[in-house]
Amino acid sequence: MNVIELKQVSKTFHKGLLFKPVPILKDLNFTVKSGEFVVLRGENGAGKTTVLNLILGLIKPSQGEVKLMGLPPQSSESKVQVGVVLQDTQVPKNIKVKELIELVRSYYPNRLSTSEILNKVNLTHKQDTCATDLSGGQRQRLYFALALAGNPSLLILDEPTRNLDDQGYEEFWEQIKICRQQGITILMVTNNKADWKKLEGLVTRTVVLQKLSEVIEGEQLQSHYYNPLASFIQEKPRLYLEWATVGFPYFLKPELLYGLEDESELEQPQQNIALILLKQFWFETLQLVRTPSFLLASASGVLLLPLFKYAGLVSENAVKPLVSLCAVFLFTIIIELLGNRVAVERAEGWLKLLKATPLPSSVYIATKIATLLTLASVILVLLFSVGIWQLEIHQTFEWWSKLFFTIIIGLIPFGLLFLGLGYWLEPKSASTWLTLMLLVAIFASGSMPIPTAPAYVQDLIAVSPFYHYQQLVSWIAEFDYDNQLFLHLLWMVWAASAFGLFASWSYQRDQVVQ
């Protein structure tokens, strides 16, 4: 059975202000069977990386069908037996090598141990080093380690030897030989001429991808077999096995070919979703804890509370200003944590690497929201505590508890909204647009009335989720309230559902790579 299959696949990108269509691939047919080692070659700009992105589900074809391990490549289940090395990716800051490997290996059901992975790429002595402090060659070893983390049956490698020093280069090819002896299928893209000698005796087939503009006749993709039997084996593996005898090179041995049409080998093992949730949340929390400047900025609202006291806002008069201050700081945290940080992850390629793993999008989104709620809870408790102390606010514990949970739970729809915007906006302009959204939130909540605003503006405010959130908080805090509790609750539920779908769509959409 084919582990990779492209049928009549075409891909057209739209570039420039006029979205001019630029076709890259046209009517491409390409398959890789279990046990093969296929090298994809072609000039720069021919579309090799586009083919890999299509196979991994990072982009969608303009037409045609793509299957990975017999499944649509956008599904996380299709990648549980796939290891990937991509170009143009960066690891997150402040995360150690060992921590990063432990995170990625948690996505896979048949994962190797952390020590075994480190030993394979000779990074044991660097396991407690921040990944961003590694040299170029060491970082390339780390990317290969992440590809091996799930004990894959298929490796997809895009320029895996670049930046490697001599020792790392030799160790890489030793691991590739071991992978071949284990029957692991490999699809590799490489323009490194030094690799060709290493590929001798390993590769079963090379495929040349021509630029679409240079194809005069025939297909854009041409296969060249390195062994006179390879073409026959590709078409009729069962018949070959009846003739096969001992003594063939290991990549043609019969025991490696029995699985070519055995669908049972492609049955996908089940992921441990609870473990993935735990590890992903731990990873997000580590990034927060190791960014003290962001934490201090998030808690800086307490410095404004003495000013309230100086202005005479104490006791009951201080309640509403305190709640407003909490809302502003919490929305600022949402914008930075779920908007700007996601935009940075996209720009650096970390999100692209995550999408090439079997990490489910729902788990990724859930842990982002959980991290937001955890930080928001800490900041809110801090602001409430200092407010009670400095502003002498006398309310019952029940009142504070109700207000706390209303504010925190009400943040979920907006967390999903800003998370989706972080995926959807262009990374370069995301910060500007997200900051403007904070101003929109303030005015759309109705907290700052606009008496001269036209009627349609007032109508827009009335249907804004920010307004309904503000009304729910006002009801709990016993401020002025319009007595439409059911309507506000209904709108917030609708907003959570709509923004959740928006965040999921934005995460999975093909433009995230483009």
Same domain, 244 and 357: no
Same domain, 260 and 337: no
CA atoms of 393 and 403, how far apart (whole Å): 14
Amino acid 397: pLDDT: 93
Same domain, 177 and 311: no
Task: Please tell me what DSSP assigns to residue 44.
Answer: T
Domain assignment present for residue 88? The answer is no
Look at 293 and 255; give whichever has higher pLDDT: 293
Domain assignment present for residue 256? The answer is yes
Q: How many CB atoms lie within 10 A of CB 13?
A: 17
Amino acid 449: pLDDT: 67
Asked if residues 366 and 277 have their Cβ atoms less than 8 Å apart, the reply is: yes
pLDDT above 70: residue 30? yes
pLDDT above 70: residue 258? no
Amino acid 260: pLDDT: 42
CA atoms of 457 and 459, how far apart (whole Å): 5
Task: Please tell me what DSSP assigns to residue 96.
Answer: B
Domain assignment present for residue 416? The answer is yes
Query: At how many degrees (to 10) do helices 465-477 and 397-424 cross?
Result: 170
Residue 236 tokens, joined: 């009729």
CA atoms of 148 and 84, how far apart (whole Å): 8
The average pLDDT across 487-493 equals 93
State how far the alpha carbon of 23 is from the alpha carbons of 15, 207, 212, in Å. 11, 20, 8
Same domain, 457 and 358: yes
Amino acid 22: pLDDT: 87
CA atoms of 22 and 20, how far apart (whole Å): 6
Domain assignment present for residue 243? The answer is yes
| β-pair partners for 415 | none
Same domain, 312 and 424: yes
Amino acid 474: pLDDT: 92
Same domain, 370 and 324: yes
Same domain, 341 and 249: no
Same domain, 224 and 305: no
Domain boundary (249, 266, 283) is at 266
Same domain, 310 and 212: no
pTM, entire model: 0.86
Q: Measure CA 323 to chain center.
A: 34
Amino acid 5: pLDDT: 96
Comparing C-alpha atoms, which of 226, 198, 267, 216 is closest to residue 38?
A: 226
CA atoms of 168 and 134, how far apart (whole Å): 13
Same domain, 229 and 339: no
Domain assignment present for residue 441? The answer is yes
CA atoms of 469 and 475, how far apart (whole Å): 10
pLDDT above 60: residue 410? yes
Domain assignment present for residue 364? The answer is yes
351-405, pLDDT tens digit by residue?
999 999 999 999 999 999 999 999 999 999 999 999 998 888 889 999 999 999 9
Amino acid 295: pLDDT: 92
Which burial class, exposed, middle or buried, applies to 377 when counting CB atoms under 10 A from its CB (0-12, 13-18, 19+)?
middle
Asked if residues 382 and 299 have their Cβ atoms less than 8 Å apart, the reply is: yes
Task: Name the pLDDT band for 254 (thresholds 50, 70, 90).
Answer: very low
Amino acid 241: pLDDT: 41
CA angle 5, 75, 344 (to 5 degrees): 110
185-228, pLDDT tens digit by residue?
999 998 888 898 898 888 999 999 988 877 756 678 887 765 54
Domain boundary (235, 266, 297) is at 266
Domain boundary (226, 247, 266) is at 266
CA atoms of 106 and 296, how far apart (whole Å): 31
Amino acid 146: pLDDT: 96
Could you give the strand order of the β-sheet that contains 37-41, starting from the edge strand earlier in sequence?
Answer: 82-85, 154-158, 185-189, 37-41, 205-209, 221-225
For the chain, what is the radius of gyration of the CA atoms? Answer: 27
Domain assignment present for residue 436? The answer is yes
Domain count, the chain: 2
Q: 62: number of CA atoms within 13 Å, CB side?
A: 14
282-304, pLDDT tens digit by residue?
999 999 999 999 999 999 989 98
Alpha helix stretches (DSSP H) within 128-250? 136-148, 166-181, 195-199, 230-235, 237-243
Domain containing 375 equals 273-512
Domain assignment present for residue 470? The answer is yes
The average pLDDT across 409-428 equals 92
Task: Name the pLDDT band for 57 (thresholds 50, 70, 90).
Answer: very high
Same domain, 240 and 305: no
The average pLDDT across 14-18 equals 70
CA atoms of 264 and 254, how far apart (whole Å): 18
Q: How many CB atoms lie within 10 A of CB 314?
A: 14
Same domain, 302 and 447: yes
Mean pLDDT value across the chain: 86
Amino acid 257: pLDDT: 43
Q: How many CB atoms lie within 10 A of CB 421?
A: 23
